Structure 1
Amino acid sequence: MIGALTSRLGGASLTARALRSSLLTVGGFGTQQALRLASNLILTRLLFPEAFGMMALIMVFLQGLHNFSDVGITPAILQSKRGDDRDFLDTAWTMQVMRGFALWLVACALAWPLSLIYGAPQILTLLPVAALTLILQGFNPTKMETANRHLVLGRVTAIEIGTQLLALVIAIALAWWLRSVWALVLSGIVSQAILLGLLWRFLPGDGNRLRWEGPAVSELIGFGKWIFLSTVCGFAFSQGDKLLIGKYLPLDAFGVYNIGFFLASFPMLLGGLVTRKVLIPVYRETPPGQSRENFVKLRKMRFAVTVALLAMVGGFAMLGVWLVDLLYDPRYAMAGGIVVVIACMQVPTIVALTYDQAALAAGDSRRFFILALARAVLMIGALIAGLEIAGLVGALVAQGVAVLLAYPVVVWLARRMGAWDPLHDAVCALAGAALAALALWLNWDAIPPLAVL
């Protein structure tokens, strides 16, 4: 068995590269999340819940700025025929650098109005400083995308894990010294600077230089205009809960919500990372609509990814209350119920997770945008209705309802790409529903207390 596994992992075939990249992505992500959990366990004892609520808001704003200006440089490099061309890569990097500085200026301009909207004067100073990470991210070399394009992720994964470990030490030291949310902000800047230095120094390949080539700009903007709109919608879909619940709850309760969300979202974040890093190259080289052989190969890969993620979701849903009681301070006790509900609501997301990358691999960013728009509109509408009807519990349930309502659009896109697999969806949906029902039954006593938040 070990010999067979080694044989499948070896070589330069697409299957071998996809398997190696998937294992590296899963291992790297798992290690980083374990380090992040260790950091949270220590920091929740050094800092107060309001600090985590404030930092969650700051991160939502930064993510919003990132998404509202994303022209799809990474997926463009992954799918473009010029993805290995030096002039194309340098032009993409130049656009990325310019965008980083522009985002920092926008963050500075937004700090004051956002501090008024959320009634949090600290945002006025915290946001401009935290946004310095956007400038640093702009200088990340395109060698990262090149490694991803060719499914050679070993060194990238090692660098990311090393950076996370250093970030943990820095965050704990700053929290012990400052005892304020500034520890989280400053550690984020330092860790991003360390990551940037390691990427430039240790990734193989030529470094980038400033370059502005007309055809490259045209291709990047032509592909990226729909990605830009898609990421705006993606922000509303993935961060709408924090924007609306952050306004609805006081900062300490929002900090509790964010801890629960962190634990429950592990499987979904892992699945999204695997599909983004692995499936675009796989779909590009073996389009499912091209042959039955390609479709069957992708079906096996899709089943493997979905079953593994559903097993993790079921585990977090069933053990969420116990995990919070075991790991966290009593101030975060209600996060257990939040873990259970959010994990259950992620079942439909995981079932449909692998389809949208087929559109990006085919260069069809317009249909990808249509799906992102449908998801965003349904998510925001469901969250508002859920908060009005049942408060926090309603908002938690709304996240699963919104994904279910968007499923017909997922099917439309998947059929256009020749990727829809109803057998996969039916089997995995039934298994996921059974796991969710069992988890809710086992932990039902933890759900009613959420109504007071």
Structure 2
Amino acid sequence: MTSIPFAARAERMAPGGEFLSRLLWSFGSFGGSVGLRFLANIVMARLLAPEILGVMVVLQVARFGFELLTDVGIEQNIVRHPDGLAPRFYNTAWTLQILRGTWLSALFLLASGPLAAFYGIETALFAAIALAPFLNGLQSTAIFGLVKALDVKQRTLFELKAEGLGFAVSVTLALIHPSAWALVIGVLVSIAARSAMSYRLPGPRHFLVIDRAHFVEIFRFGRWIMVTSIIMFAAMSLDKIVLAKVAPLAIVGIYGLARTIADIPAQLGQRLTHQLIFPMLAAARTAQDGEALRGIGAARSRLVFIMAAGIGAGIASADWAVAILYDPRYASAGPMLALLLPASFVAVLSSLNAGILLGSNRPQFESAANILRLAILVPCLWLGYLHFGVEGVIAAVLLGELGRYLVIWLGQRAIGLSFGRQDALAILVLLGAAGGLILLRLALGLASPLGLASAG
């Protein structure tokens, strides 16, 4: 299949007029994806002990850490480059992706022994999950072509099929053999199936090639993506890395469950950034395109205010939600979730704003933002846990997100485009919704959702 019709379709997309339709498809995709993962999370929590979930938290953190090493932004390069769907550029990116996945899996295997000794987890589990980068590297770059073409509908359907298969495999294995091995094998089967399914998507024919000029272009733009990815991973995972070393695995599993739920809004923000805001601005060639900015700005306003009210309500009812969905072993996840949600909302705002900067070819601002976030987390996580336990860890996460937001906001000011006033009003909506509902609970003689997160 040639790349011409596929590329031409991306060029014909009007950045502003189609935004709402694509936004709805992104919400639909995200809702289906989150629904499947949330259902799997509930089932796994009922089948498995918190200690087993704690082991999986550590394994997944290690996996994502290795997968982000040498991340030169294959997707971002294909989306932003005018020749991103030209066969030699497209396949140079695909070849680099395969080589990178192979190298990372080999490096991960070598590190399995030391990691197992450090965390007191079975070496074979680390060795097995080490195959994930290799399997991920085998996927077709046609997935990224859908993003470039702003074909949110087809990307949505693909992701839902892949995640539905992953859900079925993981739950079936956990029912047969309720252990950490069931989760690890489920992850590997899911990744392998997703990679295989990706070759049924439309896109240019694949062949192994390294074009020197395209190789240099990919790394020139990708160096900032690589720095951002490594620092972002450290900033997003440092709380779990610290807890996994200093706290019992049962607490790590409960915290991981709360963090998984709290991260849902932040993941939505990232999905909208990468599937809509960044490719639309890249297609417009400039972040000053009036139609694109009007469409994004108007939809963004409605989105952040709705999310602020929803997350505020979530803060006020987090303990009830956990009590209804999970068994008593996970009760302390409720207060943890209530305390984590404000940080998640700040992360949403940061991600939406970072998409504007990335679409303006200024990824260095997000790198700097994540450097500051990491610089805040390194001392604050240790001090927070030492003096206040899990609540101190959560406070450090919020401080880190605020630091990240500040740098991204300054970056937007530098290019003459900022949503600071809109974001400030959204935060007030969040605080008003959460505060009002908590006061109502107290007035009715009900307990506050903000209990001792470290209890249990």
**Normalization by structure 2: what TM-score?**
0.91
* Contact kept in structure 2, 1:288 and 1:419, CA below 8 Å: no
Query: Do residues 196 (structure 1) and 199 (structure 2) align?
Result: no
Which residue of structure 1 lines up, in the alignment, with residue 222 of structure 2?
224
Distance 2:319 2:247 in 1: 21
Distance 1:183 1:352 in 2: 35
Which residue of structure 2 lines up, in the alignment, with residue 450 of structure 1?
453
Which amino acid counterpart does residue 13 of structure 1 have in structure 2? A
* Structure 1 residues without counterparts, runs of 5 or longer: 1-10
Which residue of structure 2 lines up, in the alignment, with residue 5 of structure 1?
none
Which residue of structure 1 lines up, in the alignment, with residue 375 of structure 2?
377
Measure how far apart 1:237 and its partner are.
Answer: 1.6
Which residue of structure 1 lines up, in the alignment, with residue 9 of structure 2?
none
Which residue of structure 1 lines up, in the alignment, with residue 126 of structure 2?
127
Judged with a 3 Å threshold, the aligned counterparts in structure 2 of structure 1 residues 371 and 344 are, in CA distance, closer, same or farther, namely closer
Measure how far apart 1:320 and its partner are.
Answer: 1.2
Query: Do residues 99 (structure 1) and 130 (structure 2) align?
Result: no
* Contact kept in structure 1, 2:376 and 2:396, CA below 8 Å: no
- Structure 1 window deviating more from structure 2 (419-428 vs 330-339): it is 419-428
Q: Secondary structure at the match of 1:25?
A: helix
Distance 1:164 1:406 in 2: 30
Residues 21-420 of structure 1 aligned to structure 2 (within 5 Å): 21-120=22-121, 122=122, 124-201=123-200, 203-286=201-284, 290=288, 295-420=293-418
Q: Secondary structure at the match of 1:352?
A: helix
Q: Secondary structure at the match of 1:106?
A: helix
Deviations 1:112-148 (A, max 9, x none): 111121122x1x1112211222111101111111110
Which amino acid counterpart does residue 311 of structure 1 have in structure 2? A
Measure how far apart 1:218 and its partner are.
Answer: 0.3
Q: Secondary structure at the match of 1:242?
A: helix
Which amino acid counterpart does residue 59 of structure 1 have in structure 2? Q
* Structure 2 residues without counterparts, runs of 5 or longer: 1-11
Judged with a 3 Å threshold, the aligned counterparts in structure 2 of structure 1 residues 173 and 70 are, in CA distance, closer, same or farther, namely same
Deviations 1:278-316 (A, max 9, x none): 111222245786366654443213212312322332232
Distance 1:46 1:92 in 2: 41
Which amino acid counterpart does residue 147 of structure 1 have in structure 2? L
Judged with a 3 Å threshold, the aligned counterparts in structure 2 of structure 1 residues 292 and 98 are, in CA distance, closer, same or farther, namely closer
Distance 2:351 2:436 in 1: 22
Q: Secondary structure at the match of 1:75?
A: helix
Distance 1:65 1:173 in 2: 27
Which amino acid counterpart does residue 101 of structure 1 have in structure 2? T
* Contact kept in structure 2, 1:167 and 1:188, CA below 8 Å: yes
* Contact kept in structure 1, 2:15 and 2:280, CA below 8 Å: yes
Judged with a 3 Å threshold, the aligned counterparts in structure 2 of structure 1 residues 291 and 136 are, in CA distance, closer, same or farther, namely closer
Q: How many residues align?
A: 440
Q: Secondary structure at the match of 1:207?
A: coil
* Contact kept in structure 1, 2:372 and 2:403, CA below 8 Å: no
Distance 1:30 1:300 in 2: 22
* Contact kept in structure 2, 1:351 and 1:428, CA below 8 Å: no
Which amino acid counterpart does residue 190 of structure 1 have in structure 2? V
Which amino acid counterpart does residue 114 of structure 2 have in structure 1? P
Q: Name the Cα RMSD after superposition.
A: 2.1
Deviations 1:146-189 (A, max 9, x none): 11012102222212212222222221221122221100011111
Distance 1:204 1:293 in 2: 29
Distance 1:85 1:257 in 2: 45
Which residue of structure 2 lines up, in the alignment, with residue 7 of structure 1?
none
Judged with a 3 Å threshold, the aligned counterparts in structure 2 of structure 1 residues 178 and 415 are, in CA distance, closer, same or farther, namely same
Deviations 1:70-124 (A, max 9, x none): 111111111112212111010001000001111111111111111121122x1x1
Which amino acid counterpart does residue 60 of structure 1 have in structure 2? V
Judged with a 3 Å threshold, the aligned counterparts in structure 2 of structure 1 residues 417 and 297 are, in CA distance, closer, same or farther, namely farther
Measure how far apart 1:249 and its partner are.
Answer: 1.6
Distance 1:356 1:449 in 2: 34
Identity level (%) = 26
Measure how far apart 1:264 and its partner are.
Answer: 1.9
Q: Secondary structure at the match of 1:449?
A: coil
Which residue of structure 2 lines up, in the alignment, with residue 433 of structure 1?
431
Distance 1:204 1:285 in 2: 19
* Contact kept in structure 2, 1:43 and 1:172, CA below 8 Å: yes
* Contact kept in structure 1, 2:335 and 2:450, CA below 8 Å: yes
Distance 2:89 2:447 in 1: 55
Deviations 1:405-426 (A, max 9, x none): 3443122211223321232122
